[in-house]
Structure 1
Amino acid sequence: MADLFDTPSQAPDPQGTAPRPLADRLRPRKLSDVIGQAQVLGPEAPLGVMLASGSLSSLVFWGPPGVGKTTIARLLAQETDLHFVQISAIFSGVAELKKVFEAARMRRANGRGTLLFVDEIHRFNKAQQDSFLPHMEDGTILLVGATTENPSFELNAALLSRAQVLVLERLSMAELEALTTRAEGELGKKLPLDTSAREALQEMADGDGRALLNLVEQVAAWTVAQPLDREALAARLMRRATKYDKSGDEHYNLISALHKSVRGSDPDAALYWLSRMLTGGEDPRYLARRITRMAIEDIGLADPQAQSICLHAWEIYERLGSPEGELALAQAVIYLSLAPKSNGGYMGYNAAMRLAKKSGSEPPPKHILNAPTSLMKEQGYGKGYAYDHDAEDAFSGQNYFPDGLERPELYQPVERGFERELKKRLEYFAKLRLQRSAEE
């Protein structure tokens, strides 16, 4: 199946009667016909350089559906005079792979190379992925894999070390417009849409060229008295579901965008990414937990109320459910975005964890240990302990770290929000500690 389409293909219909979908009729016939992906196809881009030097290596195309992965692989085989073989990891097993490798071996013995295109390559297990390696190394096949999932997580390191990963991007609105124009040329007529509706149609495709051509083919078949506007188009066509995999890359990409927007004090961006995740079907409870985490990590004691607001928003969602409860999450996101930021508590905790692991099993100093038995008293437990409430300013300045451990500075508050007051207190107690130490 083609992924990206441009100049009409002249491949004959073997039956002579079956109608060919627009997407198939607009399949590019050469790489220069492909719309988009200049970052990999341009003269100075990876594939442009490889083709110019006559040295094509194994590749992994990583990108969303409908951006040209299959089409580019087919055209690469054409331009390098390699025999093109396409399989899908969804439907192929070990037996079929053996047949493909054997046929490629025989073809190579007769002087012809093979470009093996593997769609959804991430669906092969480790053993199946490993089976490609010897055939890649001895030149039996030139592998081109396609995946919508992050290759770093889904493909073996051994396979990745033998292939170059190229990222294919969703088509821009300008590229979708170019594709629409070429489709109209193939159809021999303009779409019955005004400018706003034409833009809406391209938005519905969501960067997917194949999806756009399917929509164009539907709209072109309509008979209308006058061009449709955006509202009329929306009444006739359902918007495509947003691409969102709650366990895949989009999940992690969007939660990262939400977290960084909050950290960057941008409530508009934070609301946008929150809404993107909710419309994609994300569990609001997951978002409630992550929003609370943001309050702890990035705001902390600069605004202690932030954590309470997040917990209350979480509770409100549990009581109201969707969609009303989601408004509480949105309000929490706005509050966090505008709250003063500090990672002082977070960094102090991490520093303390590192020190705890480094110092091992060092015991507390004996003067702060309880001595409920006479034996413990004889061992010096509790001896010399100063009860802080009896001291001036209710501060004794005693050491509470293990003996021999140099006093660290783990918590370092910032000059923002409530932590500004905490910093003053910290400096005050440090000054008193020096005074008490000098008095001893």
Structure 2
Amino acid sequence: MADLFDSDLPPKKPAGPRPLADRLRPRALSQVIGQQQVLGPDAPLGAMLASGSLSSLVFWGPPGVGKTTIARLLANESDLHFVQISAIFTGVPDLRKVFEAAKIRRANGQGTLLFVDEIHRFNKAQQDGFLPYMEDGTILLVGATTENPSFELNAALLSRSQVLILTRLNEDDLELLAQRAEAELGRALPLDTPARAALINMADGDGRSLLNLIEQIAGWKTDKPLGVDTLTSRLMKRAAKYDKSGDEHYNLISALHKSVRGSDPDAALYWLARMLTGGEDPRYLARRIVRMAVEDIGLADPQAQHVCLQAWETYERLGSPEGELALGQAVTYLALAPKSNAGYVAFKAAMVAAKKTGSEPPPAHILNAPTTLMKEQGFGAGYAYDHDAEDGFSGQDYFPEGMKRGIYYLPVDRGFERDLKKRLDFFAGLRAKRKARQN
């Protein structure tokens, strides 16, 4: 932990040229690019600074969007001593030293803004260790995390902090950052317009990544602007930001599912491609696609489930990348299929009813009676064989005796369920006639 208290030490002489990202670090919050949903005059941080009532914060967002920079500038503008630690490299003894140093500063009239990078790496007990120092004002905590705080931070810490969401920089933000880099370097990037757009796209919303790429490009010597092909051949292709076990995984599969449900094949294909290019297991996607067919298309198009199962089987036979085309076709089919969740809703309702009446036996008339004793007990007595009844329908009650008849399946007037609705209405009419005759 040699660098734990760097902010307390005299500045070191630089060992070499400062990286471009460090040279362009904003010196005031007004110079921060993007994040106006947090920094604007009517946004949370803007309002806090205007009122002088800064509270503990948690910055939630992807890498390279300014979490560390904003925390450092908050300290500057609030006249707080800035201390930065990382949860990856910091243990309990180190934290005690941080808190003791903050107490001394407080006694001397200066507060401490403690910036904790990757705060979600601390376990719940370690997170509790911050609470007394937050409550008595020893520190103003600013945590940074790329993970969902609702899942990774304990309730006590969250209740004492305000969570602010920082987002990826958009194309305009990244272009402005590129222009600042060119001004700092004193020359324009040697790229033509399409190559410049490709460079912005490569950064994928990450400002630090863009500056690192620009730093590489700035050293290239060329007599004319370079095109996209040259740019991509000289730069290693940057891997997509996709965590197969984290929030991004669940966010993207949700986006795919909702695009299918919303009958948008283009969006559905895009999110499928995002997951595949991010390294998602196609077999996981195949399972989820079948689930979509059952949950959101259902009996409005019974063929949809077969299409998805065949796509899964095709993938198993062909593998990647050829088999992935079958998954794309299945997603397209689902997005354009008539939608109904009537079967899904009916099953959930039946499950609720089953849990409430789990010990109720079937009515005696539909029980088999293979033994004399069971016949004497009335098992099977009065059962009507539907094939012998008029219209092939007896209209008997198959629910437990004394249980009110449940109505769970309510088909929609779309796709094949139109026909199923007609059949359901037909049988309901016959049942009502049978009941009227009995009365």
Select the residue among 174, 177, 181 that pairs with 1:176: 174
Q: State the secondary structure of the residue aligned to 1:223.
A: coil
**SS of the counterpart of 1:367?**
helix
Report the CA distance shift for 1:361/1:308 in structure 2 as closer, same or farther (over 3 A). Answer: same
Counterparts of 1:4-15 in structure 2, within 5 Å, are: 14-15=12-13
Give runs of aligned pairs for residues 4-83 of structure 1, distance below 5 A: 14-15=12-13, 18-83=16-81
Aligned partner of 2:248 among 250, 253, 262: 250
Shift of residue 359, structure 1, vs aligned partner: 2.1
1:14-56 CA-to-partner distances (Å, cap 9, x unmatched) read 4366211111111111111111100000110000000000000
Deviation at residue 313 of structure 1 after TM alignment: 0.7
Question: Shift of the alpha carbon at 1:376?
Answer: 1.7
Q: Equivalent of 2:190, from 164, 189, 192?
A: 192
Q: Which amino acid aligns with 1:376?
A: M
Question: 1:237 matched to which residue of 2?
Answer: 235
Give the drift of 1:195: 1.4
Deviation at 1:315, TM superposition (A): 0.9
Amino acid in structure 2 at the alignment position of 1:88: S
Q: Which amino acid aligns with 1:287?
A: L
Rounded to whole Å, the distance in 2 between the matches of 1:364 and 1:16 is 83
Instruction: State the 1:238 CA deviation.
Output: 2.2
Q: Are positions 1:416 and 2:414 aligned together?
A: yes
Residue 374 (structure 1) aligns with: 372
Q: Which residue of 2 aligns with 1:228?
A: 226
191, 203, 206: which one pairs with 2:204?
206
Deviations 1:260-285 (A, max 9, x none): 11111111111100000000000000
The match for 2:279 among 268, 281, 284 is 281
SS at match of 1:165: strand
Paired with 1:115 and 1:101, the residues of 2 have a C-alpha distance of 11
Q: Can you give the 5+ residue segments of structure 2 that lack an aligned partner in the other structure?
A: 1-9
SS state at 2:199 partner: helix
Taking the aligned partners of 1:16 and 1:240, their CA distance within structure 2 comes to 29
User: What does the per-residue CA deviation read over 1:161-214, in whole Å, with 9 as the maximum and x for residues that have no partner?
Assistant: 110000001001000010011111111111111111111111111100011011
Aligned residue type for 1:380: G
Partner letter of residue 30 of structure 1? A
Amino acid at match of 1:389: H
> 1:386 & 1:83 partners in 2: Cα distance?
85
The answer for the alignment partner of 2:335 in structure 1 is: 337
Correspondent of 1:291 among 284, 289, 292: 289
Matched length? 429
Structure 1: tracts of 5 or more residues without a match: 1-11
Aligned to 1:267: 265
Distance 1:426 1:17 in 2: 80
Task: Give 1:170's aligned amino acid.
Answer: R
d(CA) in 2 for partners of 1:346, 1:57: 46
Which residue identity is paired with 2:249?
A: H
Match for 1:326 among 324, 327, 330? 324
Describe the shift of the 1:167–1:129 C-alpha distance in structure 2 as closer, same or farther (beyond 3 A).
Answer: same
Offset, 1:239: 2.5
Give the alignment partner of residue 383 of structure 2, picking from 381, 385, 388. 385
Whole-angstrom distance in 1 between the partners of 2:39 and 2:380: 75
> Could you tell me how far 1:363 is from its partner in structure 2?
1.4
SS, match of residue 414 in structure 1:
coil
Given the alignment of the two structures, is residue 427 of structure 1 paired with residue 425 of structure 2, yes or no?
yes
Question: What SS is found at the alignment partner of 2:323?
Answer: helix
1:60 CA displacement: 0.2
Partner of 2:302: 304
Match of 2:126, as an amino acid? Q
CA distance in 1, matches of 2:226, 2:358: 73
Q: CA deviation at 1:436?
A: 1.2
Q: For 1:194 and 1:360, how far apart are their aligned partners in 2?
A: 71
| Aligned residue number for residue 94 of structure 2 | 96
Give secondary structure in 2 for the equivalent of 1:324: coil
Matched residues in 2 for 1:139 and 1:275: separation? 48
Post-superposition, which runs of at least 4 consecutive aligned residues in structure 1 deviate over 4 A? none
Separation of aligned partners in 2, 1:14 and 1:415: 74
2-structure distance, mates of 1:43, 1:16: 37
CA drift at 1:346: 0.3
> What corresponds to 2:7 in structure 1?
none
Deviates more, 1:90-99 or 1:17-26: 17-26
**Secondary structure of residue in 2 paired with 1:399:** coil
From 122, 129, 137, the counterpart of 1:131: 129
TM-score under structure 2 normalisation?
0.96
Partner of 1:3: none
Q: Which residue of 2 aligns with 1:4?
A: none
Structure 1 CA distance for aligned equivalents of residues 264 and 29 of structure 2: 41
Q: SS of 2:83's equivalent? A: strand
Relative to structure 2, which stretch is displaced further, 388-397 or 282-291? Answer: 388-397
2:361 & 2:200 partners in 1: Cα distance?
67
Q: Deviations over 1:386-420 (max 9, x none)?
A: 11111111110000011121112110111111111
Once the two structures are superposed, residues 320-340 of structure 1 have per-residue CA deviations (whole angstroms, 9 ceiling, x without a partner) of 110001111111111111111
